[in-house]
Structure 1
Amino acid sequence: MSIKSFAAKLFASYIRNKIDKWASNPVETQKKVFSELIEKAKHTNFGKDHDFSGIRSHSDFTKRVPIRDYEELKPYVEKMLAGETSVLWPGKPLYYAKTSGTTSGAKYIPLTKESMPTHINAARNAILCYINDTGKSGFVDGKMIFLQGSPELDEKNGVKLGRLSGIVAHYVPGYLQRNRMPSWETNCIEDWETKVEAIVDETLKEDMSVISGIPSWVQMYFERLIDRTGKKVGEIFPNFNLFIYGGVNYEPYRAKFESLIGRKVDSIELFPASEGFFAFQDRQNEKGMLLQLDSGIFYEFIKADEFYEEYPKRLLLDEVELGVNYVMIVSTNAGLWAYNVGDTIQFTALKPFRVIVSGRIKHFISAFGEHVIAKEVEEAMKVAVSKTNAAISEFTVAPQINPEGDQLPYHEWFVEFEEEPEDLNKFAEIIDRSLQDQNSYYLDLIDGHILQRLKITKVPRNGFQEYMKSIGKLGGQNKLPRLSNDRKIADKLYEII
């Protein structure tokens, strides 16, 4: 065992003990976080507008601070972007994490000097918990690759901005720099195909032990390695035994990955977002990820089936139950207040609190990390209809993760036409271009050849009515989901088709 590997085990034990202290005292930990957040922000614009000085309890907070999503918080963010200070949090943010917006372009999520370390520490602690849990630390002597966005950042009124993964690249600790790949130069390549080829060039002869990234992107890297060598990934990298991922569900990819690697490898699931690093898998044999309660994030939970009520109950940790879908609401040391992240979670354990991500409160497709929402597909269809002679009666969209043959995955659009367009291929092309224009994640996946252009499957006249009838939801207030992240509707439609 190397000195580095031995030291990693000691540090892992120290961090595990620290985590266990707050994890075994969750309610008090959250009360402390809540009090610190309110006290710190009471003199900000937001704190004054919502009488933070008068808040003594969670009940006071819920009366003063309504639930908001980004669009409702945007007026405050725009003041910050214009250069104002102490708007949502004291001073200026360190960065803005720029993400794809839902209704009005890009979102700019603030990252502060208090919140930035929590992102870094959580990622580090996930690996340390794995070491402590398994006793495996030899991988620290090998090379580690983190497939991420470009670390090159823009600037807006003195504040750097970029994608979260690119920002995080600036914070790789010194003890990992020698082991970390790809090189800074390769990481800055914008074109994904070019970048992957450069990563293959750099890593092919290295002793890779840890590989991390969104599964769909990592799959492309693996396929390039195999194309180049004719060997399985596990043969190319005999010491590769740990895959770290987040952003999308790994299960649809697991069998494919094991085929590409040639054997099973351990994995660590993460729950990172621009708004906060919420959870990570801390035990290999436990279902779910440990909710981060001591990271400057105060959590509230609303039952998903009550979320759209006028005054839904905002629950605290000691009020949640196992197996219930909750919308997660966060207040953070980056200046987000009663903020609806949009994710739904379920608790898999209450001692300590572990969660899985169960979906989004709104219908969506994110089988590959694209975060396509209903508004985007509806706008794309509207554009296509306006530019052709087509007329439609109904449509829905589903991901096709495992197409036949060697095809790339794609989004499948099930469309019932009143009048078919003269050129169905052009119709599909207009829809696809509109989606790319609206959603940068989808554009990246198309440009990176992770997804191919969408395909249209025609549904016969009254086909959607037959579907709704078959599930007992014909008529009334029942609505067909515009899109879904699985193929339950798609499979039923194929029976009708």
Structure 2
Amino acid sequence: MSLKSIAAKIFAKKIYKKTQVWVINPVETQNSVFLELIKQAKNTKFGVDHNFEQIKTTADFARQVPVRDYEGLKHYIDEVVEGADNILWKGKPLYFAKTSGTTSGAKYIPLTKESMPYHIEAARNAILHYINETGNADFVDKKMIFLQGSPILEEKNGINLGRLSGIVAHFVPKYLQKNRMPSLGTNCIEDWETKVNAIVEETFNEDLAVISGIPSWVQMYFEKLQQKGEKPVGEIFRNFNLFIYGGVNYEPYRAKFENLIGRKVDSIELFPASEGFFAYQDSQKEKGMLLLLNAGIFYEFIKSDEFHNENAKRHTIGEVELNVNYVLIISTNAGLWAYNIGDTVQFVSLKPYRIIVSGRIKHFISAFGEHVIGKEVESALQEAIVGTDIRINEFTIAPQITPESGLPYHEWFIEFENEPQDSVAFAEALDNSMRKQNMYYDDLIVGKVLRKVVVTKVVKNGFQDYMKSIGKLGGQNKIPRLSDNRNIVDLLKRE
């Protein structure tokens, strides 16, 4: 065992103990974060506009600061982008994380000197919790790769901007620099396909032990490695034993990944976003990710089935319940206030507070009142393929409201790696699982409002072609699991 791995284990134990201090005091921790946020921002334009000076409790905050999305905060953010200071947070941001918007074009999410360290520490601490629990630290002496956006930054009114993953690349600790791949030159390649090909060539003969990235794009990297080496990824990288991912649920990809790798590997799930780093998997034995309650973020939770109600109740951490679908609302030390990031979560543990990401509040199917969410379709698919050799590359779902004949239905568009031997039985299994997941959907089937699911096969690389056609191939871009319209599926190539 090397000195580096011994030091990693000692440091991991220290960080674990430090984490437990706030884990066992969740309500007090969140209240302290809340009061500090209000104190630091009370003299900003936003703070003055919303009477922060008078806010003493979270109830005061809920009364005086309405829930907003990016559009709701945009007039404040526009001032920050134009170079004004003390608008949403004291001073000016260090960076803007530039992301794709829907109605407003590009979105500029501020990152401040107070918020930026938490992005780095959370990713580090996720790995340290893994080391502390498993005792596995051998990988610290080997190569690691992080599939991420380009670290090349632009400048806007004196503030650097770029993709979050590209910004974070500038903060990789010195002790990881020698182990980290790809090289800076390769990482700066903008075109995703060109970049992946270059990464394959650069890493093929290296001793990679840790691989990190969004599963859908790591899959592309693995497929190209397998094509080049004509053997599983696990034989190319014999010491590869840890996959770190975020952005989407890994379960639909797991069977395909294990086939590409040729064996099982440990994995760590992260929940990062431009708006903040919210949670990470702190245990290989427990379900869910540890919600980071001391990371400069004050959380509120609105039950998703009440979200569109006027004056829907905003719950704080001490008021949440298990297995309820909540819209995640955040206030941060980057100046986002009562901000709806669009994600929904469920608590799977309250001691400590662990969550799973259940979907997007804008990504659902409720064409007939069923309100199907991402977690339900992912669970249904996982149940339908368990115990089979079916492997899925990618999928999305949309309603078919006006079929040429018969009743309407939910249409599943799936790109298979290994197709089901009996497609009828597979569709039946999907439908049965969906009926168990969502009672409203079951009522619609029983009441003959809907017929059972229809599975439509998508051509090989069909989803990649679609993402390329809309300029969102690679990086942090993800296919929505479901939509209440057919805008996506109408552009997919079917078999």
**TM-score category by the smaller chain?**
0.7 to 0.9
Partner of 2:383: none
The 1-side partners of 2:192 and 2:359 are apart by 27
Q: Which amino acid aligns with 2:98?
A: K
Q: Which amino acid aligns with 1:225?
A: L
1:481 Cα deviation (Å)? 2.8
1:441 Cα deviation (Å)? 10
Partner of 1:400: 414
Partner of 2:75: 75
Alignment partner of 1:232 is 2:258: no
1:51 Cα deviation (Å)? 0.4
1:400 Cα deviation (Å)? 2.0
The 1-side partners of 2:163 and 2:80 are apart by 18
Q: Which amino acid aligns with 2:233?
A: V
Given that residues 34 and 298 in structure 2 are in contact (C-alpha distance below 8 angstroms), is that contact kept between their aligned partners in structure 1? yes
1:204 Cα deviation (Å)? 1.0
Which secondary structure does the structure 2 equivalent of 1:243 belong to?
strand
Q: Which amino acid aligns with 2:78?
A: E
Which secondary structure does the structure 2 equivalent of 1:284 belong to?
coil
Partner of 1:267: 267
Compared with structure 1, are the counterparts of its residues 13 and 449 closer, same or farther at alpha carbon in structure 2 (3 Å cutoff)? closer
Q: Which amino acid aligns with 1:255?
A: A
Alignment partner of 1:444 is 2:475: no
Superposition pairs of residues 64-213 of structure 1, within 5 angstroms: 64-213=64-213
Compared with structure 1, are the counterparts of its residues 312 and 485 closer, same or farther at alpha carbon in structure 2 (3 Å cutoff)? farther
Partner of 1:350: 350
Unaligned runs of 5+ in 2: 366-373, 379-391, 400-407, 420-462, 490-495
TM-score if structure 1 supplies the norm length? 0.78
Which secondary structure does the structure 2 equivalent of 1:287 belong to?
coil
1:104 Cα deviation (Å)? 1.7
Alpha-carbon displacement from aligned partner over 1:62-117 (angstroms, at most 9, x marks no partner): 11100000000000000011110010000000011111112121111000000000
The 2-side partners of 1:35 and 1:266 are apart by 38
1:402 Cα deviation (Å)? 2.3
Unaligned runs of 5+ in 1: 378-393, 406-431, 455-479, 487-497
Partner of 2:319: 319
Partner of 2:254: 254
Q: Which amino acid aligns with 1:69?
A: D
Compared with structure 1, are the counterparts of its residues 263 and 482 closer, same or farther at alpha carbon in structure 2 (3 Å cutoff)? same
Given that residues 364 and 483 in structure 1 are in contact (C-alpha distance below 8 angstroms), is that contact kept between their aligned partners in structure 2? no
Partner of 1:3: 3
Partner of 1:429: none
Compared with structure 1, are the counterparts of its residues 370 and 44 closer, same or farther at alpha carbon in structure 2 (3 Å cutoff)? farther
Compared with structure 1, are the counterparts of its residues 326 and 51 closer, same or farther at alpha carbon in structure 2 (3 Å cutoff)? same
The 2-side partners of 1:146 and 1:23 are apart by 29
Compared with structure 1, are the counterparts of its residues 450 and 118 closer, same or farther at alpha carbon in structure 2 (3 Å cutoff)? closer
The 1-side partners of 2:417 and 2:264 are apart by 23
The 1-side partners of 2:356 and 2:165 are apart by 22
1:396 Cα deviation (Å)? 7.7
Query: Which runs of at least 4 in structure 1 moved beyond 3 Å after TM superposition?
Result: 364-374, 394-399, 446-451, 483-486
Given that residues 200 and 225 in structure 1 are in contact (C-alpha distance below 8 angstroms), is that contact kept between their aligned partners in structure 2? yes
Given that residues 396 and 482 in structure 1 are in contact (C-alpha distance below 8 angstroms), is that contact kept between their aligned partners in structure 2? no
Q: Which amino acid aligns with 2:485?
A: R
Q: Which amino acid aligns with 2:484?
A: P
TM-score if structure 2 supplies the norm length? 0.78
The 1-side partners of 2:81 and 2:14 are apart by 40
The 1-side partners of 2:476 and 2:276 are apart by 27
Let me know the Cα RMSD of the aligned residues: 3.5
The 2-side partners of 1:218 and 1:316 are apart by 36
The 2-side partners of 1:4 and 1:334 are apart by 34
Which secondary structure does the structure 1 equivalent of 2:314 belong to?
coil
The 2-side partners of 1:67 and 1:441 are apart by 34
1:196 Cα deviation (Å)? 1.1
1:449 Cα deviation (Å)? 13
Alpha-carbon displacement from aligned partner over 1:276-334 (angstroms, at most 9, x marks no partner): 00000000010000000010000000111110100000001111110000001000000
Partner of 1:51: 51
Given that residues 397 and 411 in structure 2 are in contact (C-alpha distance below 8 angstroms), is that contact kept between their aligned partners in structure 1? no
Given that residues 220 and 450 in structure 1 are in contact (C-alpha distance below 8 angstroms), is that contact kept between their aligned partners in structure 2? no
Given that residues 149 and 476 in structure 2 are in contact (C-alpha distance below 8 angstroms), is that contact kept between their aligned partners in structure 1? no
Which secondary structure does the structure 2 equivalent of 1:443 belong to?
coil
Compared with structure 1, are the counterparts of its residues 125 and 442 closer, same or farther at alpha carbon in structure 2 (3 Å cutoff)? farther
Given that residues 234 and 261 in structure 2 are in contact (C-alpha distance below 8 angstroms), is that contact kept between their aligned partners in structure 1? yes
Given that residues 399 and 485 in structure 1 are in contact (C-alpha distance below 8 angstroms), is that contact kept between their aligned partners in structure 2? no
Partner of 1:481: 484
Partner of 1:389: none
The 1-side partners of 2:350 and 2:114 are apart by 27
1:450 Cα deviation (Å)? 10
Given that residues 397 and 482 in structure 1 are in contact (C-alpha distance below 8 angstroms), is that contact kept between their aligned partners in structure 2? no
Given that residues 102 and 373 in structure 1 are in contact (C-alpha distance below 8 angstroms), is that contact kept between their aligned partners in structure 2? no
Given that residues 289 and 355 in structure 1 are in contact (C-alpha distance below 8 angstroms), is that contact kept between their aligned partners in structure 2? yes
Given that residues 76 and 88 in structure 1 are in contact (C-alpha distance below 8 angstroms), is that contact kept between their aligned partners in structure 2? yes
1:444 Cα deviation (Å)? 2.6
